[in-house]
Structure 1
Amino acid sequence: MLLSSYTISAEEMSTKGLHIKDNHIYNSNGEMIMLRGVNRPGTEYSCVQYAKIFDGPFDEEHIHVIRDWKVNAVRVPLNEDCWLGRHAAESPFFGEAYREAIQKYIEIFTDNNMAVIIDLHWSSNGTLATQQIAMPSKEGAQEFWKQIASIYKSNSRVLFDLYNEPYPFKTLEWGQDEQAWKCWKDATGCSDDPEIPYDASGMQQLIDAVRSTGSDNIILLPGIQYASSVNMFLKYVPNDPAGQLGVSLHSYDFNHCNSEGCWDDFLRPVYSQYPIVATETGQKDCLYDYLTDFLHYADVNNIHYLAWSWLVTDCESPALIKDWDGTPTNYGQGYKRHLSILSKGKQPWYSDTFDMYNDKVTHWASDWSTAKRKWNDTDLVYQGKYSFSAEITPEGMFYLNCYNCIKTSVHKTLEFWINGGEIGDQDFSIQLINNERKASDTFTVQHVCSSSTIPASKWVKATIDLTQLPQNAIYSGFWLLPQNDQPKMYIDQVTVKAIYEPPNNDGDDDSSSSTITISLSTIILLLLLNLFL
């Protein structure tokens, strides 16, 4: 795929003088720079849970291990009480000692040309900060940022992520959360949320606290719903006299907005006016299919990103590394490889082909079926570990919904495999669904299957030819709808295939070394054979 807007560089850029101009971040040389990095957790919880400051090594040698992944940014989560020395006694890991250690730690990063995003991760609700709370505190959070800004106002490599994951009025539906945005902006009405029984700060108050010190460092404002939603950011964006506001986004596979169609609707209006930094991104199943899709979208649209997390823990956390030497987990391999290719000035390979179901309902789709079903059935499987079994009726359909994901300008076929189970001979219609959740185009199962009927205990392929549909049509999934009750059947490997598949020539080191190894082995074998002939 030829990408029209793709900022990559094989040369390491300076992170000095970071500032926002229009909707991009630049350095002191006037070069547009993309922040790509990792989160380094531990400093938000170790001081209140484990009687220490860091979780793992924190010396310069280890910082070089992080840099070896070709990152230029790190996010350091902090604890309000550990920094301010409140709600517990001074100790070697709390208060002054914590502040001194954090400052030395950040200095090592910035001295090594890395941008540092300081994140207020845990704030106090009047007691010791030992967990996330819905909104930052009034007194403590403002004092925290005054102190941080005073220290780092002369270090332009440091950015301020004002609060990790606000979630005021978290039960409100997506897109219907103006009450939450009012609380988020300036704390208006926050006390109406039962999860905020304390005096809270809005983002405007925290901006004012930072700017009162004379700091003009870049400020990142997180969205609501755990920093995953920026749907009303433009309406409620606070005022910054320095004009140095960016957006902090958390993008995970389990978020409400987790595919290209949704990103286009909700992120594009924001990143067209403000830089977005995905200060957290990742997925929780040790895979990297979602991560790959989001990183591609981010690269194309100049969204900055930092993966969660550089921590030795369960891969599902998610964790990028297996050990402190930087050995990647399977999930981490996907990220490290992506960064490595970018560092060579190349574009990572990407295809618009995607799976809606492949051992799981992928992030591209949601299971909106009303039929009796099981998405991880092992009785009959075409490929992988699981299939999706369903007993469809006129009242209970099989329905995979997605967010404007099927585009006739991009995709050529919708394909999946069906097995008739013990009985077979199922009869139903396959209907493509538009973005109003209405049937748009209908196909009979006999029309799209490789067999005139669905046989018992045998897999047959269903293929819908999208090239025969109207040009530039967009669909949000499909359902299987019968006229009468149907026996149990199995569905597997639901794939939407792209019209164009680009050649995989991204120059990945792993594939190169693999080819060399095979070639050398072949040469050695031929030499040995020649000796005995």
Structure 2
Amino acid sequence: MRVRTLALAAAVVTVAAGALAVTLSPASAATTGCSVTYKVTGSWSGGFQGDIAITNLGDPVSAWSLGFDFPNAAQKVTQGWGGKFAQSGAHVTVTNETWNGSLGTNATASAGFIGSWSGSNPVPTTFTLNGVTCTGGTTTTTPPTTPPTSPSTSPTTSPPPPTGAAPAIKVSGNKLVNKSTGATVKLYGVNRSGGEFACIQGNGFWDGPMDQTSINAMRSWKVRTVRVPLNEECWLGTADVPAAYGGTAYQNQVKAYVNLLVQNGITPIVEMHWNYGLYTGPSSGCSDVKATCQKPMPDAQYAPSFWTGVANAFKGNDAVIFDLFNEPYPERATGDETSGWKCWRDGGTCNGITYQVAGFQSLVNTVRATGATNVIMIGGLAYSNNLSQWLTYRPTDSLNNLAAFAHIYNFNSCANTSCWDSQIATTAQQVPVTLTEIGENDCAHGFVDGLMNWADAHGIGYLGWTWNTWDCSTGPSLISNHDGTPTNYGLGLKNRLATVSN
């Protein structure tokens, strides 16, 4: 049953079993009114980010539509979140999503957007809520005595999200928990690749759509966590990056997507995936210096600046988790695991690595120096497949807010239950552990099914690689279309999330 209160008409609409019944309540006065706060939170040449807070001062409503006009005809909305944005000429309309339509008296809804402009970027001055001009006061009207026109009963195609925004998270013992309620939080979801490579290769910011529709498709799978790989040099806007895709422009794209995930009840994990530094030793993917392939460890030249910037961007929002580095493999360069773990923690000059290394202790310190209290996740050796000495070498954290993660594929060395029991399960007894990348390269899901069985039995969450429309044998990719159509490999994760994800 769905109940909707019609503003200015005091009517209750009930939809049940496909039939529409309209029942009029006794005539009574209706109060309307609203206030709007519009802020430009970031601006760059030709673009900007805006945030809008809409407060309903009148009677409660179950659906809202905000209207305003840009003063400059060259101002355009290019991407929005927290509401459905539409623009005709200078006029912009923002209507609620299915999950944030109810606004009680004095309740506030928030929406944000990325926009473009030329010439000037003035702030709109007049706003309406459900057709009523927002003056900061209220007006009382008498409802009509004739029945209102019946609203559409067309079902929405957008799946229901979790209630509200993603929760702030912290570490408690060996669990991640909701900071407000103390409830255990398990991370179930996907990786969304693209932000680590497209920018430095001159192909844009992302690989495929990163809008509300694409997130709706994720929600249809009951995805509750999305890991967002980033590129160190693109964030910092170094000379290696095409100017259009680096620095502030890249940062604003990342902030917009991460904020959109949070507003949809999805926990974002932001991580440094590709970084600067020449490495040509064992297991090197290529001999480049710029961040176009995988390095064994973060670099001391740029990584601290990257994490200072990312931590400052998201501090105060503990719904966002920080993953310091994708897949360390220093032991391949240093020659053995003991020296590899020391390089992992302490950084500096590491044998076989031709650049100065930022160890994870220094990066934890860098994040905390900004005042950020977010959960920090760190992987192990062997491309985050080896957690054998993670507890021995784990960095210290002033907030005791560190978690571990592992990556497991069918072609890894630690790809069986005995190894998972000895390395991952033992680590998970003391700190939270999540499998932030799982997958297989045979376009099937037999391996991940068994892995997820093991993880479920140990209370460990997992994220599939990757929500991209690639060849599942080379990606491997979970989807064949951004509408959420699964590959045969992706079907295993889709079916499992339907049973384990809240």
Task: Indicate yes or no: 2:478 matched with 1:308.
Answer: no
**1:128, 1:266 → 2: CA distance?**
33
Residue equivalent to 1:290 = 447
- When the two structures are superposed, what TM-score results if normalisation uses the length of structure 1? 0.60
Q: What corresponds to 2:245 in structure 1? A: 93
Partner of residue 414, structure 2: 257
Question: Could you tell me how far 1:139 is from its partner in structure 2?
Answer: 2.6
Q: CA RMSD in A?
A: 1.8
Which residue of the partner structure matches residue 360 of structure 2? 203
Structure 2: stretches of 5+ with no match in the other structure: 1-159, 279-288
**Of Structure 1 and Structure 2, which has the larger fraction of its residues in helix?**
1
Q: CA deviation at 1:90?
A: 5.8
Which of 211, 214, 219 is equivalent to 2:371?
A: 214
Partner of 1:37, secondary structure, is: strand
- 1:313-462 to structure 2, matched below 5 A, reads 313-316=470-473, 317-343=475-501
Within-5 A mapping of 1:493-508: none
CA distance in 2, matches of 1:140, 1:67: 35
Given that residues 182 and 188 in structure 1 are in contact (C-alpha distance below 8 angstroms), is that contact kept between their aligned partners in structure 2?
Answer: no
2:271 is aligned to 119
SS class of match (2:189): strand
Letter in 1 for 2:355: Y
Q: Is 2:342 aligned against 1:182?
A: yes
Offset at residue 342 of structure 1 (A): 2.1
2-structure distance, mates of 1:325, 1:177: 43
| Residue type at the aligned position of 1:205 | S
Contact 2:166 2:319 in 1 (8 A): yes
- Of the three residues 377, 383, 387, the one matched with 1:226 is 383
Question: Equivalents in 2 of 1:165, 1:235: separation in Å?
Answer: 19
What residue identity is the alignment partner of 1:342?
Answer: V
TM-score (normalised: structure 2): 0.64
Q: Is the CA contact (8 Å cut-off) linking 1:179 and 1:189 kept in structure 2?
A: no
Is the contact between residue 86 and residue 128 of structure 1 (CA under 8 Å) also seen in structure 2? no
Report the CA distance between 1:189 and its aligned residue. Answer: 4.7
| Matched residue, 1:71 | 223
Unpaired segments ≥5 residues, structure 1 = 1-9, 346-533
Give a deviation string over 1:218-275, Cα, whole Å, max 9, x none: 0001101111001111111110011000002101111111111111111122000011
SS at match of 1:46: coil
What secondary structure sits across from 1:247 in the alignment?
strand
- Alignment check: 8 A CA contact 1:23 1:275 kept: yes
CA shift in 2, pair 1:324/1:160, >3 Å? same
Asked if 1 retains the 8 angstrom alpha-carbon contact of 2:200 and 2:241, the reply is no
Show the counterpart of 1:31. 183
Q: Is the 8 A contact 1:168 1:224 kept in 2?
A: yes
| Residues 180-228 of structure 1: CA deviation (Å, up to 9, x unaligned) | 00000011551x12xx201110000100000001111000011011110
Q: Give the structure with higher Rg (CA).
A: 1
The count of residues paired between Structure 1 and Structure 2 equals: 330
Paired-residue identity, %: 38
On the 8 A contact 2:348/2:357 being kept in 1, the answer is: no
Aligned to 1:477: none
Q: Which amino acid aligns with 2:248?
A: E
CA distance in 1, matches of 2:422, 2:384: 17
CA distance in 2, matches of 1:172, 1:200: 12
CA distance in 2, matches of 1:287, 1:252: 12
Render the CA deviation track for 1:1-22: whole Å, top value 9, x for unaligned.
xxxxxxxxx9947631211100
Q: What is the letter of the counterpart of residue 328 of structure 2? A: P
Whether 1:147 and 2:309 are equivalent positions in the alignment is: yes
Q: Compared with structure 1, are the counterparts of its residues 287 and 172 closer, same or farther at alpha carbon in structure 2 (3 Å cutoff)?
A: farther
Cα distance in structure 1, aligned partners of 2:398 and 2:301: 22
Q: What SS is found at the alignment partner of 1:76?
A: strand
Partner of 2:400: 243
Q: CA deviation at 1:50?
A: 3.8
Q: Secondary structure at the match of 1:147?
A: helix
Cα deviation for residue 305 of structure 1 reads 1.1
